[in-house]
């Protein structure tokens, strides 16, 4: 029972669920999406910490939901992530960087992080880097909300589920499914564009094909992606599989996905 002399503000802050929004190494795109939609969350949550958006933050108190953007690419990212995990009931990885490692991971695929750092900031740079990795490589992640940036409707639906103590269902069926539901003409079949919708996780509502462009895989791989079938179709249409793979790698797709495709390419050459 709440004490009778507690002010309305104190009462609310003790009963309403709390959220924290953190950014590790990333472009802050997800933080912006959360900020833009915060008005819809405010009636239901208390924002305990959001350093990107407010100057007064509770850094050392437990929260109900922690949203974390960005990959672990620097030692202080890892320190923060471990602390965030220890204080959060639910941890939601938001955006492709947090879920797959995105361009930080893709960019370092063929080059060591240190050589990239020296090339960019000079040999005397005091910055320390780690190989870029997604959150799940270091801590338990309760919900993975991919996207570059995330879809606002998915963000609100995930938050609503967690506030009701349910882990949400996030689809990782291919973009093609959403594309068909929108009754789009297929740009792969009808325009011979190198659309990666068949191997990319849905969630964006097939945004690019809806406007006549090929999906380039920014949501990360879908559930059980049929890479060999994708490779066969694209090769039949005259596309270089190395180029196609580099697009998917750029958004952090793991190497293991391409093992069989790579073996086939080596066997043919
Ligand atoms: S346009 Fe792309 S996403 Fe849409 S159905 Fe064709 S291959 Fe799939
Ligand atoms: S269609 Fe593909 S590239 Fe475009 S937003 Fe969706 S997942 Fe990203």
Instruction: Report the chain's mean pLDDT, rounded to a whole number.
Output: 89
Q: pLDDT: is 4 or 240 the higher one?
A: 240
- Pocket lining for ligand 2, CB < 6 angstroms: 175, 200, 204, 206-208, 215-219
- Mean of the pLDDT values across residues 158-171? 93
pLDDT band at residue 114 using 50, 70 and 90 as cut-offs: confident
pLDDT at 3: 40
Joined together, the tokens standing for residue 67 give 């949203």
pLDDT at 19: 97
Residue 219 alpha carbon, nearest atom of ligand 2: 7
Rounded to whole angstroms, the maximal C-alpha distance in the chain is: 79
Instruction: Express each pLDDT in 122-154 by its tens digit.
Output: 888 888 888 889 999 999 999 999 999 999 999
66: enclosing H helix or E strand:
strand 63-69
Which segment of 98-112, 158-172, 188-202, 225-239 scores lowest on mean pLDDT?
A: 98-112
Report which of 54, 82, 53, 81 is spatially closest to residue 69, judged by C-alpha positions: 81
Query: Residue 166 above 90 pLDDT?
Result: yes
- Cα–Cα distance, 141 to 81 (Å, whole number): 11
| Ligand 1, atom 8, residue with closest C-alpha | 176
pLDDT at 269: 66
pLDDT at 165: 93
pLDDT at 175: 97
Residue 216 alpha carbon, nearest atom of ligand 2: 3
Q: pLDDT: is 126 or 178 the higher one?
A: 178
For residue 256, give the DSSP letter: G
Rounded to the nearest 5°, which phi and psi values hold at 147? 130, 155
pLDDT band at residue 10 using 50, 70 and 90 as cut-offs: low
A 10 A CB-CB count for 34 gives 25
Q: How far is the CA of 19 from the centre of ligand 2 (A)?
A: 28
- Mean of the pLDDT values across residues 173-201? 96
Q: In the chain, what percentage of residues exceed pLDDT 70?
A: 92
Q: pLDDT: is 176 or 224 the higher one?
A: 176
Q: Where are the domains of the chain?
A: 8-163, 175-268
CATH of 8-163, one of 3.40.50.700, 3.30.1490.190, 3.40.50.300, 1.10.10.60: 3.40.50.700
Distances (CA, A) of 192 to 12, 185, 214, 244: 57, 12, 9, 14
pLDDT at 263: 73
Segment of 1-5, 20-24, 58-62 carrying the highest mean pLDDT: 20-24
Residue 189 alpha carbon, nearest atom of ligand 1: 6
pLDDT at 13: 55
pLDDT band at residue 5 using 50, 70 and 90 as cut-offs: very low
Report which of 30, 65, 47 is spatially closest to residue 154, judged by C-alpha positions: 30
């Amino acid at each position: 029972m709440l004490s009778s002399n507690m002010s309305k503000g104190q009462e609310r802050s003790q009963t309403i669920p709390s959220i924290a929004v953190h950014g590790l190494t990333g472009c802050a795109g997800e933080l912006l999406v959360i900020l833009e939609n915060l008005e819809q969350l405010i009636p239901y949550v208390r924002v305990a910490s959001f350093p990107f958006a407010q100057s007064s933050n509770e850094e050392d108190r437990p929260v109900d939901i922690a949203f974390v953007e960005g990959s672990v690419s620097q030692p202080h990212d890892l320190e923060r992530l471990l602390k965030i995990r220890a204080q959060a009931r639910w941890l939601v990885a938001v955006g492709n960087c947090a879920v797959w490692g995105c361009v930080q991971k893709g960019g370092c695929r063929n080059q060591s992080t240190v050589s990239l750092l020296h090339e960019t900031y000079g040999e005397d740079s005091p910055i320390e880097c780690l190989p870029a990795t997604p959150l799940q490589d270091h801590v338990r992640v309760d919900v993975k909300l991919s996207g570059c940036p995330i879809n606002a409707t998915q963000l609100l639906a995930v938050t609503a589920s967690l506030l009701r103590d349910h882990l949400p269902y996030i689809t990782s069926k291919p973009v093609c499914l959403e594309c068909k539901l929108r009754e789009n003409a297929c740009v792969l079949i009808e325009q011979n564009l190198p659309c990666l919708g068949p191997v990319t996780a849905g969630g964006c509502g097939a945004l690019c094909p809806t406007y006549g462009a090929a999906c380039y895989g920014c949501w990360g791989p879908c559930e059980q992606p049929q890479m060999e079938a994708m490779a066969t179709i694209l090769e039949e249409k005259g596309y270089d599989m190395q180029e196609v793979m580099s697009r998917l790698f750029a958004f952090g797709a793991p190497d293991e996905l391409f093992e069989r495709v790579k073996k086939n390419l080596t066997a043919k050459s």
